[in-house]
């Protein structure tokens, strides 16, 4: 199921729906700023970031991700949130 979600990130509507559903304060804004810094659309940046994480994550990161997904009402969305929170940390105050 999560693999299907990752594969569907090329669909701009899917990526836009995910960005709207993130729900974590500041996360969508950090995503938009990072995308702008790279000169690409936020939906494309989302897809690149998630796929890059999946290709390079350590075993520990995968175990953490599975734990997050197992305890979530919406495992796919929870995984996307966790990946983006890791890739786009909040700025230090």
Which pLDDT value is given to residue 93? 65
Residue 93 lies in a domain: no
In a domain, 14, yes or no: yes
pTM: 0.85
The total number of structural domains in the chain stands at 1
63 within a domain of the structure (yes/no): yes
Range of the domain at 13: 2-87
pLDDT on residue 2: 83
Stretch 15-22: mean pLDDT:
84
For residues 54 and 23, give the distance between their C-alpha atoms in angstroms, rounded to a whole number.
Answer: 22
Q: Where do the H-state alpha helices sit in the chain?
A: 2-7, 12-21, 27-38, 42-56, 59-70, 75-87
What does the pLDDT read at residue 15?
Answer: 84
Please give the pLDDT value at position 27: 84
pLDDT in tens, 28-87: 888 889 999 999 998 899 999 999 999 999 999 999 999 999 999 999 999 999 999 899
């Amino acid at each position: 199921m999560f693999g299907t979600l990752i594969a569907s990130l090329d669909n701009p509507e899917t990526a836009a729906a995910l960005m709207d559903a993130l729900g974590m304060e500041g996360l969508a804004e950090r995503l938009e700023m990072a995308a702008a810094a790279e000169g690409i659309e936020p939906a494309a940046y989302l897809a690149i970031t998630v796929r890059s994480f999946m290709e390079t994550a350590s075993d520990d990161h995968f175990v953490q991700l599975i734990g997050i997904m197992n305890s979530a009402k919406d495992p796919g969305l929870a995984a996307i949130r966790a990946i983006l929170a890791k890739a786009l940390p909040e700025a230090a105050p």
